[in-house]
Amino acid sequence: MASTANLSQILGTIPVISKLSGDGKPRTEAAASRLVGNKVEEGQNNILKPTRRLALGLGTIGIFANSNVAVSLADDNGFWLNGPIPIPRAVNMIDNVETGTRSFLKTGVYIADIGTKGRQFRLKKYAFDLLALGDLIGKDAWNYVKKYLRLKSTFMYFDFDKVISAATPDDKPPLLDLANRLFDTVEKLEDAVKKQDLPQTELLYHDTSVILQEVMTKMA
């Protein structure tokens, strides 16, 4: 009996340890206070620390708000434009007489004014570039050939127009003839490339190459 009494005394001195979980009492007040605290803290962080996407968006709005793109005029300094790209017009008779334009012309392309000598050099260079285009014909690169042909021919069209305007009265007729023969064949070549007609493309490219050689000789 003494042993039992001593055991009871020992057990009575041990403090009761509360259960860590499963006591069946939800801690609603503590959880609610932590949740509210986190929401307030997150709200403060979102207000004080804007995200990178928001900062970029605000910066973009600021840039477009300060740019008068819709009402600005082109400021051409010979190398770049500050404003919308103007649509140039050819003043010499180098258009297709039936359509009044050239089918290969690209829009939205700015051509820097590099003077008559510079334009002659560019004509020679782009004629050489188009001669190299023949390596891609028949290599399943129709889309690239079409884009490359249109871009280079557009530059040559407007460069020819300026060079002809600056030429002497005696030099203008041969230049006009050369330009029109070139652009007539380029239009036909472009049409064959669009249709992916390989035999016709090869034939027309041969004819175009002969005229491109004339351009290189003339602009040398």
Domain boundaries, the chain: 32-67, 115-218
In sequence order, what are the residues at sequence separation of 6 or more whose Cβ sits closer than 8 angstroms to the Cβ of residue 207? Answer: 185
Q: What is the tens place of the pLDDT at every residue in 4-57?
A: 445 455 445 555 444 444 455 545 554 445 544 554 454 444 444 555 444 444
Burial class (CB in 10 A: 0-12, 13-18, 19+), 44: exposed
Query: How far is residue 151's CA from residue 3's CA, in Å, rounded to a whole number?
Result: 108
pLDDT in tens, 181-207: 999 999 999 999 999 999 999 999 999
Question: Over the stretch 64-94, which tens digit does the pLDDT of each residue have?
Answer: 344 343 334 456 566 666 666 555 677 889 9
Domain 115-218 has CATH 1.20.120.290: yes
> 123-169: per-residue pLDDT in tens?
999 999 999 998 899 888 999 999 999 999 999 999 999 999 999 99
CB atoms within 10 A of CB 12: 7
Closest CA to 157 of 208, 95, 205, 207: 95
